[in-house]
Amino acid sequence: MATMTEWLRDPSPASRTQARLGQSYLAWLRMRRNPLAMVGLFIILVLLFVAAFAPWVATHDPLAQNLSQRLLPPGTPGHWLGTDDFGRDIWSRIAYGSRITLYIVTLVAVTAPVLGLLIGTVAGYFGGWVDQVLMRITDIFLAFPRLILALALVAVLGPGIENAVLAIALTAWPPYARVARAETLTVRTSDYIAAVRLQGAGAGRIIWGHVMPMCLPSVIIRVTLDMAGVILIAAGLGFLGLGVQPPTPEWGLMISSGRKFLFEQWWVATMPGLAIFIVSLGFNLLGDGLRDVLDPRSSGK
């Protein structure tokens, strides 16, 4: 172990692979010194575990109804988080609902940042009228609240998880474009960019191979911090009946169905609400930790 640690921390790496692994190891050491970031990482790992092993973690079929056991309180034998108005086990529905939450978060995370990164780097690199056109389009999207714009898109496209993901992705890309543009403006006049340009590299190669990698740390931080907002928007669409449709176990939809029992059978809506709160908190804590690790301006803290 000591030999591997020394190899990773070697100040004069012998290969690019060793250099990258060494940087990742040092980043992990900085990350590990942040207890709140580790709490966020633990929450996200638990989410991944529950989503991956939902059939084994859940104690009941999330769709099975048993009206003789409806609205049982938490702590009931066999239903430790209680049951809903159809007698379905709340814990099992939350466990399976984590799959839907992770599905939405993953699809948005691999679509919106890519679009925003592409638009932002192109606008920042070329400048001029290209920058003006792309940034004015970005400003139009930013002028609308994300939830309102997502509601409008889903109303046009129709309810469903695919349309909800598409609507969220179409409303989530503008902040990434702004971040990527700002980073591009700071590096496009750098000496190494000028050197690559003198070697005959075209604009596409420079943007893809040299500008985008410099923007990735800021975009990754933004993605992690934005995941809480994505979860809330997805839950909001489900709450309004425009996202995942019943009887699929989705956290926002579960809150919507339990709101009429909020004062007497509070657990029906509170338990999925707590799940949303905990997962959102986990992404925020992890995002703060990644910002301290990946942001070069804070590396000396």
- Calpha distance 151→188 (Å, rounded): 38
Most confident among 4-8, 97-101, 157-161, 184-188 (mean pLDDT): 97-101
294: domain CATH number?
1.10.3720.10
User: Average pLDDT, stretch 131-141?
Assistant: 92
pLDDT at 24 over 70: yes
% of the chain with per-residue pLDDT over 70: 97
In sequence order, the β-bridge partners of residue 79 are 76
pLDDT of residue 300: 43
81 found inside a domain: no
Asked if residues 124 and 141 have their Cβ atoms less than 8 Å apart, the reply is no
199 found inside a domain: yes
Identity of the residue numbered 85: D
pLDDT of residue 58: 93
- Calpha distance 167→233 (Å, rounded): 10
Structural domain range at position 142: 38-53+95-298
Other Cβ atoms less than 10 A from the Cβ of 162: the count is: 10
Domain count, the chain: 1
74 found inside a domain: no
Residues 6 or more apart whose CB falls under 8 angstroms from that of 31 comprise 37, 38, 41, 289, 290, 292, 293
Question: Residue 206's pLDDT band (boundaries 50, 70, 90)?
Answer: confident
- Calpha distance 13→273 (Å, rounded): 48
DSSP string, 207-271: IIIIIHHHHHHHHHHHHHHHHHHHHHHHHHHHHTTSSSPTTS--HHHHHHHHGGGTTTSTHHHHH
Alpha carbon distances (Å) from 203 to 23, 100, 113, 124, 216 = 29, 39, 21, 12, 18
Asked if residues 92 and 58 have their Cβ atoms less than 8 Å apart, the reply is yes
194 found inside a domain: yes
In sequence order, the β-bridge partners of residue 89 are 83
Asked if residues 114 and 216 have their Cβ atoms less than 8 Å apart, the reply is no
Question: Residue 155's pLDDT band (boundaries 50, 70, 90)?
Answer: confident
128-142 vs 161-187: helix crossing angle, rounded to 10? 140
Express each pLDDT in 268-300 by its tens digit. Answer: 999 999 999 999 999 999 988 888 887 655 544
260 found inside a domain: yes
Residues 6 or more apart whose CB falls under 8 angstroms from that of 126 comprise 203
- Calpha distance 253→264 (Å, rounded): 19
217 found inside a domain: yes
Q: Under DSSP, is residue 143 helix (H, G, I), strand (E, B) or coil?
A: coil
Residues 6 or more apart whose CB falls under 8 angstroms from that of 210 comprise 187, 192, 193, 196
114 found inside a domain: yes
Handedness of CA 53, 57, 61, 67 (dihedral sign): negative
171 found inside a domain: yes
pLDDT of residue 2: 47
Handedness of CA 59, 62, 64, 68 (dihedral sign): positive
